[in-house]
C-alpha cells in the first residue's frame, strides 16, 4: 500500500519510513501539513499517518481537510503524545480513524496499518460486489429483491449451522460475513445468457436449458479472472465457489460438474437452499408463488437428494425466519413500461392511482 507520512521531525519520519518500507509499503514522506495537502489533492494515498503537533496545519486540521477533499475514503492515523480522552475525542471528531502514541512501537504501528488496510479493502470489496450483483439484477426484472433476500437467507442459515458441532471448526463469524457479502453474486454468470432465454416466459427447450446452465461456469470464469489478479482475495474464492456450484445437487445429479456430498463447497450448499426457497416463494411470469409451508415441505423432501441434509435441518429450525424475511422483503408488483406499448407515462401509472392521486393499496 502507498502510505503518506507527515511529521515535522526528520527522526520520527525516518523511523516511520523504515518500519513501513520494511513491511513492503511504498512511502511518501513530507515534513509539513502543507506539503501533505498537495499530495492529498493528487488522491494517490488511501492511508495517511500524520503527527498531531506540527506547525499549521497540524494533524487535526490536516485530517479535517482530507475528509473535505478526498473523493475516496482515506484511512487517517494520528501520531500523538496526547493520551487524554479530551484529545482523543477531538481527534475522532476531526475524522481520525486511529491513534498511535509516540514514541511508537513498530510492531504496533504495522498492526494498526494492517487494520486500516483491512477496513479499506472491506469498503472496496463491498463496492465491487454490490456493483457486480446489480449488473446481474438489471438483466432480469422479475427477480426483484431476490439477491437481497438470498443473502439474508444464506446468512441466517449459516449462523444456524454454526451451532452444529460438525460445522464448529468450519464456520466462524468471518465465514458468515463472507457468505452474506458474496451470495448476491451466485447468478453473476447470467449476464451472459441471451435475453431470449433469460426472459423467456415459458418452459425452456433442452437446448435453451443447456445454455442457461452455462451461467454457473461463466460466473466462475469471471471471478477466476479476478482471482488471477488478486489471488489473496478470499472473498473472490468464496464468490467463485458459490457461482460455480450452487446448482450442484447433494446426490451428484446437479450441474455443472455433477459433484456430490462434501465435494460441493459448503458455501454453495448453503446458497442452494436459500436460492431455491426464494425462487419458489416468488411469483414468475410463468407460474405463481408457492406458499411457505409448501416450500418447506419441498426442501425437506429434497434432503439428501438435492440438498445437504444438515443444511436442510438448519433450514427447518429457522424456517419461520425465512418466512418473515420473505414477507418483509416482498417485491412490489412490477410495472414493465415497455410492455404497455406507446402509451404516455402518466396514462401507464394512472391505473394504480386513486382519484385523490395517492397510491392505491
Partner 1 sequence: MSAGEERLDHSSPISPATSAAEPFEIAALLRRCMGDHEFAARLIEKFTGRLADTVKEIERGVEAKDWSSVTSRLHNLKGEAGSLAAVELASSAEEMRERLFDGHIHAASTHLLELKAAADRCIQFRFTIAKRLEQAASVALHG
CB of 118 to partner 1, least distance (A): 22
Give residues with Cβ within 8 angstroms of 264, minimum separation 6. 245, 248, 250, 308
11 binds partner 1 (CB under 8 A): yes
Whole-angstrom distance, CA of residue 83 vs CA of residue 22:
28
Q: Which segment (103-111, 230-238, 240-248, 338-346) binds partner 1 by CB under 8 A?
A: 103-111
What count of residues does the chain have? 361
Closest CB to partner 1 among residues 53, 148: 53
* # binding residues, partner 1 (CB under 8 A): 17
Grid coordinates representing 99 are 491513534
**Which of 3, 4, 12, 156 lies at the binding interface for partner 1 (CB under 8 A)?**
12
Closest CB to partner 1 among residues 100, 280: 100
Strand, helix or coil at 78? Answer: strand
CB of 11 to partner 1, least distance (A): 5
61 binds partner 1 (CB under 8 A): no
Whole-angstrom distance, CA of residue 65 vs CA of residue 63:
5
CB of 232 to partner 1, least distance (A): 24
First CA to last CA across the chain, in angstroms? 53
**Which of 43, 103, 194, 231 lies at the binding interface for partner 1 (CB under 8 A)?**
103
Residue 233 burial (CB < 10 Å; 0-12/13-18/19+)?
A: middle
Helix (H) or strand (E) holding 75: strand 75-80
262 binds partner 1 (CB under 8 A): no
Q: Which segment (100-108, 133-141, 280-288, 294-302) binds partner 1 by CB under 8 A?
A: 100-108
Across the chain, how many H-helices and E-strands are there? 15, 5
**Which of 14, 127, 135, 353 lies at the binding interface for partner 1 (CB under 8 A)?**
14
Give the gyration radius of the chain's Cα atoms. 26
Closest CB to partner 1 among residues 15, 188: 15
Q: Which segment (5-13, 28-36, 59-67, 340-348) binds partner 1 by CB under 8 A?
A: 5-13
Closest CB to partner 1 among residues 13, 188: 13
Closest CB to partner 1 among residues 108, 297: 108
Closest CB to partner 1 among residues 58, 137: 58
Q: Is 95 left (phi over 0), alpha (psi -120 to 50) or beta?
A: left
Strand, helix or coil at 202? Answer: coil
**Which of 26, 72, 81, 111 lies at the binding interface for partner 1 (CB under 8 A)?**
81
Q: Which segment (98-106, 119-127, 222-230, 244-252) binds partner 1 by CB under 8 A?
A: 98-106
Whole-Å CA distances, 167 to 102, 112, 267: 44, 32, 12
Cβ distance 154 to 162 under 8 Å?
A: no
**Which of 34, 53, 208, 251 lies at the binding interface for partner 1 (CB under 8 A)?**
53
Whole-angstrom distance, CA of residue 144 vs CA of residue 140:
8
Closest CB to partner 1 among residues 21, 134: 21
Contacts with partner 1, residue ranges (CB under 8 A): 8-12, 14-15, 18-19, 22, 53, 81, 102-106
Amino acid at each position: 500500500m502507498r502510505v503518506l507520512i507527515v511529521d515535522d521531525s526528520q527522526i520520527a519520519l525516518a523511523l516511520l519510513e523504515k518500519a513501513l518500507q520494511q513491511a513492503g509499503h511504498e512511502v511518501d514522506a513530507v515534513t509539513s501539513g502543507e506539503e501533505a495537502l498537495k499530495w492529498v489533492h493528487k488522491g494517490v494515498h488511501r492511508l495517511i499517518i500524520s503527527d498531531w503537533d506540527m506547525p499549521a496545519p497540524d494533524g487535526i486540521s490536516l485530517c479535517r481537510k482530507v475528509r473535505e477533499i478526498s473523493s475516496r475514503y482515506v484511512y487517517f492515523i494520528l501520531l500523538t503524545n496526547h493520551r487524554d480522552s479530551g484529545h482523543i475525542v477531538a481527534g475522532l471528531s476531526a475524522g481520525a480513524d486511529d491513534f498511535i502514541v509516540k514514541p511508537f512501537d513498530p510492531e504496533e504501528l504495522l498492526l494498526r496499518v494492517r487494520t486500516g488496510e483491512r477496513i479499506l479493502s472491506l469498503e472496496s470489496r463491498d463496492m465491487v460486489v454490490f456493483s457486480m450483483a446489480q449488473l446481474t439484477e438489471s438483466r432480469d426484472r422479475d427477480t426483484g429483491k431476490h439477491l437481497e433476500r438470498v443473502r439474508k437467507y444464506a446468512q441466517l442459515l449459516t449462523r444456524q449451522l454454526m451451532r452444529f458441532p460438525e460445522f464448529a471448526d468450519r464456520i466462524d463469524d468471518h465465514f458468515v460475513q463472507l457468505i452474506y457479502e458474496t451470495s448476491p453474486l451466485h447468478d453473476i454468470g447470467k449476464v451472459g445468457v441471451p435475453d431470449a432465454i433469460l426472459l423467456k416466459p415459458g418452459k425452456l427447450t433442452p437446448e435453451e436449458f443447456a445454455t442457461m446452465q452455462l451461467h454457473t461456469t461463466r460466473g466462475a470464469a469471471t471471478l477466476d479472472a479476478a482471482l488471477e489478479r488478486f489471488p489473496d482475495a478470499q472473498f473472490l474464492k468464496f464468490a467463485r465457489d458459490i457461482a460455480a456450484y450452487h446448482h450442484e445437487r447433494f446426490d451428484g445429479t446437479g450441474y455443472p460438474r455433477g459433484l456430490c456430498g462434501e465435494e460441493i463447497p459448503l458455501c454453495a450448499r448453503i446458497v442452494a437452499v436459500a436460492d431455491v426457497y426464494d425462487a419458489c416463494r416468488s411469483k414468475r411470469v410463468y407460474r405463481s408463488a408457492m406458499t411457505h409451508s409448501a416450500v418447506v415441505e419441498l426442501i425437506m423432501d429434497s434432503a439428501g437428494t438435492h440438498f445437504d441434509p444438515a443444511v436442510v435441518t438448519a433450514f427447518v429450525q429457522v424456517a419461520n425466519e425465512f418466512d418473515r424475511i420473505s414477507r418483509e422483503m416482498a417485491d412490489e408488483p412490477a410495472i414493465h413500461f415497455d410492455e404497455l406499448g406507446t402509451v404516455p407515462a402518466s396514462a401507464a401509472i394512472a391505473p394504480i392511482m386513486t382519484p385523490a392521486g395517492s397510491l392505491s393499496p
